[in-house]
Structure 1
Amino acid sequence: MNPDPDDRPDANDRSSDDPDSDPDPDLAGADLTDAEVAALHEVELGVEWLHRAHGHLVQFHHATGHAMDHLAEAEAGLREAGYDGLADRLRDDLLPRGVVGDKWSYGVLEAFQAGPMADADSFGTDACEEVADGERHVAERRQEREWKGRSRT
């Protein structure tokens, strides 16, 4: 059961007014249970993997664009070399074709950005707010605290 947020110590009190300043890893998530930290960590990992998938979609979009540019050049070359039938096939069948149905690669990318990625980002933010008062990477901060605590320096 989640503790009442009003009963928790403020583990996210920042010493600076800078909203981008790193919270003290000695305080981050100190009041959260192991189950809360683990669940929040899985949410964060899921969102991060979707960001990686987004990067692959951007790469796919760019690679597809480069391939289509080469095929467009091939159309002109084939026509110049007297292969109008092949050039017509490129122009009519391959160049206007989408990568998924009629959707071009930018459309797939935009649909992913507006759908699953936006929804996961929003959910990740909501989960961090509800579980850890907006604190991100609580598991990593806890690990940092533990590793620094056992260091001999």
Structure 2
Amino acid sequence: MVESDDTGKLTEREREALHEVELGVEHLHRAHGHLVSFHHSTGRAMDHLAAAEDLLREAGHDELADHLRDEHLPRGVVPPCDGDRATAGRWSYDILEKFQETFLDDVVGFGDRVRDQVADGRRHVTERRQEAEWKRRAQLE
């Protein structure tokens, strides 16, 4: 026997809106993963550049080593928001943290609120409905 998807209380518009919010949150989680990867890749690149500084100096290229030390290693990956080159830019960890602490957390919280208010806290109501329909169809065959 196929169990009910228990989503019949929602209007079609509520179900669609909830699904769009869930998809938005899921894509933000994917974006978060990309930012974590960006942060790790940037850190690894900076480790290689730091090693290159020492090797350049040992090879007698002090000017290049100094340029790397003074211009590239301390520099952030994104310029400061005010565009002032005199201040350090934003590092990858800062971008990741700000994304997590502000936008991601805010939107995830909003998604929780929508789910609580619209669907009594139930997740994936569209998928549950589809699952129930496919199971119902399979039993009719």
2:77 to 96, 99, 117: 99
2:110 to 123, 139, 148: 123
How far apart, CA to CA, are the structure 2 residues paired with 1:49 and 1:94? Answer: 32
How far apart, CA to CA, are the structure 2 residues paired with 1:88 and 1:68? Answer: 15
Q: Percent identity?
A: 61
| 1:71-113 Cα shifts (integer Å, max 9, x gaps) | 0000000000000000001100000000112111000000000
Q: What is the TM-score of this pair, normalised by structure 2?
A: 0.88
| 1:26-45 Cα shifts (integer Å, max 9, x gaps) | 24312111111111000000
Where does the alignment leave 5 or more consecutive residues of structure 2 unmatched?
80-88
1:86 to 39, 51, 64: 64
Corresponding residue number in structure 2 for 1:56? 34
| 1:97-142 Cα shifts (integer Å, max 9, x gaps) | 0011211100000000011100110000000001001111100101
Q: Structure 2 matches for 1:4-153, cutoff 5 A?
A: 26-101=4-79, 102-152=89-139
Where does the alignment leave 5 or more consecutive residues of structure 1 unmatched?
1-23
Corresponding residue number in structure 1 for 2:82? none
RMSD: 1.4
How far apart, CA to CA, are the structure 2 residues paired with 1:45 and 1:25? Answer: 25
Q: What is the TM-score of this pair, normalised by structure 1?
A: 0.82
Contact 1:25 1:141 in 2 (8 A): no
Task: Kindly tell me the number of residue pairs found equivalent between the two proteins.
Answer: 130
Q: Which runs of 4+ in 1 moved over 3 A?
A: none
